[in-house]
Structure 1
Amino acid sequence: MPHNHHHKHQVEGKNLLLSIIFNVIITVAQVIGGILSGSLALISDALHNFSDVLSLVFSFVAHKLSKRKASLNQTFGFKRAEILAAFVNAATLIIVAFILIYGAIERLFHPHKIESILVIWLALLGIIVNGFSVLLLKKDAHHNMNMKSAYLHLLTDMMASVAVLIGGLLMLFYKIYWIDSIMTFLIAIYLIIVGFDLLKKATKILMLFTPDDIDIKSIVREVHKIKGVNKLHHIHVWYLNEEELHLEAHLDCSEDIKMSDFNELLHEIEELLLEKFDINHINIQPEFKKEDPKDYIVQD
């Protein structure tokens, strides 16, 4: 069975742990500052940061679990733990966003004076701390959905702090206190957008959907070009995690061949699927004139 490990990026958890520590510090600071200043945007940003702390901890635990070896009771190990973490983190982004929208609308109709100086300084602290955390996870985010979910949480934190800073400056110089609610609302809309996209991707993997870049008909056409193949059918293609792309299928052979001959045929199919479709885990059931459905996709 071929395994595609070319240029594999090793994701480390230490940067995630540092980000957790930084976010705990800034969350405490923003809660205190939000209460003292009366800024809803600052409290909203703190709430978002707190959800990030929980999400980052979840991501960290999932990352550690994913490294565990398989066992008799867990034959795949915990390889899907990070996908599950990405799903939960994306869902929390969306939930937090709706909480922020509710608070922003309520405050918009009942604005009050806000201590803008404190808001500005804490927003600057948020930009610096979250910006550093974003840089720590940026590389890993390109290679791992779990890390991307953590990265997006931190990136939106940084953007939220920028929005709070702008709002604080406008309140300081122009006394426009309703801008606090507007900034909160804009932060929430962005959270919904990025959260939904990640949630959709994680859901597709958890539901074992065929990856968007895989065309099953193209796979069939290529495999059918190999001598000895009659019909590839009953096909399933799915991601176990972000590194393992699996194919399971029945192969109706054109002749009643020996197992040793089938091994050679299987090896040729494995090389083709790895080279052209990046499928690195293949399980094929050999058949010869077996009476069963021969459709590409068969309902089990």
Structure 2
Amino acid sequence: MTHKHAHNHSHSHQKLTGRNLLLSILLNIIITAAQVIGGLVSGSLSLLSDALHNFSDVLSLIVSYFANRLAKKEASIKRTFGFKRAEIMAAFINAASLMVIAIILIFEAIERLQNPQEISAQIVIILSGIAILGNGLSVLLLKRDSKVNMNMRSAYLHLITDLMASVAVLAGGLLMRFYNVFWVDSVLTFAIAIYLVIVGYDLLKRSFRILMLYTPDTIEVKNIVTIINALPKIKSIHHVHVWQLNEEETHLEAHIDFETNIQVSEFGTILSEIEDILHKKFGINHVTLQPEFGKKDNKDIIVQD
């Protein structure tokens, strides 16, 4: 059985990805440490919440880094797919952690809003400025990879929400410094948390769909069946499964019932034609077909295994 492969990353690009992740991890460790100290000294909840978010980024970036390395390992007898799903797992874990942190921040913000406290705005302004520079650099490092890789996108989203949070904390620090509006600290924390829930849920849903072997949204199985059934000598295509192994590989397996008892060489020709159609029209790059003639099995399009 032949398969078509579509790979979007070169070896040098993968090395660059790993290096960029390591730099981002180091930057976020420095930012987190500074913000924790500054938050405790200043009494700013928004600065501590930003530090907590940054700490989650450190963990998520570490997960992303090791997932990125695992995904490059070759397949073996024990792991016939290799670790190709490692990055999807990392994206799922990162998205889930993002939402948990956001919910914690919401409760903390509500509690602090009921009991506002005076905050050292000067420290908030300085440290949020440092965080903006660090997160901004990290975002630039991962921007290109985030467009083609879900794992990198999960790390990128963590970082870009950190950048936005730091900008909001800076704005809050300025308001507290010049207008003594200390309740804005809690309001900003609440707003940051709501945004985290929104972006986290979207990524969680998409990674969950891949892990659960859902048919990709861009593929309509009935259209595949209609096109394949219209080909000469094919009686029906049935028992169809379509799923994504990861973001680069979409698989299809199915049974094909033929009108006549064709030869193996003829099936090979038909298979090549079907592979071309599925790759060009639907982006499916791994095709496994079981040829049948006169077999008494379930001919439904979808069959529960």
For residue 92 of structure 1, the aligned residue among 78, 97, 104 is: 97
- Calculate the TM-score normalised by the size of structure 1: 0.98
Alpha-carbon separation, structure 2, partners of 1:255 and 1:222 = 19
**Long gaps (5+) in structure 2:** none
Greater Cα offset, 4-13 or 89-98: 4-13
Is 1:198 the equivalent of 2:199? no
Is 1:75 the equivalent of 2:84? no
For residues 209-247 of structure 1, what are the alpha-carbon distances to aligned partners after superposition, in whole Å with 9 as ceiling and x for unaligned? 000000001111111222121100000000001000000
Partner of 2:303: 298
Identity within the alignment, %: 59
Alpha-carbon separation, structure 2, partners of 1:271 and 1:36 = 64
For residue 146 of structure 2, the aligned residue among 132, 141, 146 is: 141
- Calculate the TM-score normalised by the size of structure 2: 0.96
For residues 101-145 of structure 1, what are the alpha-carbon distances to aligned partners after superposition, in whole Å with 9 as ceiling and x for unaligned? 111111111111100011001011111100110011011000000
Partner of 1:153: 158
Alpha-carbon separation, structure 2, partners of 1:289 and 1:160 = 64
Is 1:214 the equivalent of 2:215? no
Alignment of 1:278-289 (within 5 A): 278-289=283-294
Alpha-carbon separation, structure 2, partners of 1:7 and 1:107 = 47
Is 1:42 the equivalent of 2:47? yes
Alpha-carbon separation, structure 1, partners of 2:7 and 2:29 = 37
**Number of residue-to-residue matches in the alignment:** 300
Q: What SS does the aligned partner of 2:181 have? A: coil
* Letter matched to residue 23 of structure 1: N
* Letter matched to residue 3 of structure 1: K
1:4: how far off?
4.3
* Letter matched to residue 255 of structure 2: H
The structure 1 segments of at least 4 consecutive aligned residues displaced by more than 3 Å after TM superposition are: 6-11
Partner of 2:272: 267
Contact 2:6/2:249 (<8 A) preserved: no
Partner of 2:26: 21
Contact 2:236/2:256 (<8 A) preserved: yes
For residues 161-213 of structure 1, what are the alpha-carbon distances to aligned partners after superposition, in whole Å with 9 as ceiling and x for unaligned? 01100110110111000000000000000000000000000000000000000
Contact 1:123/1:164 (<8 A) preserved: yes
Q: CA RMSD in A?
A: 1.0
* Letter matched to residue 166 of structure 1: A
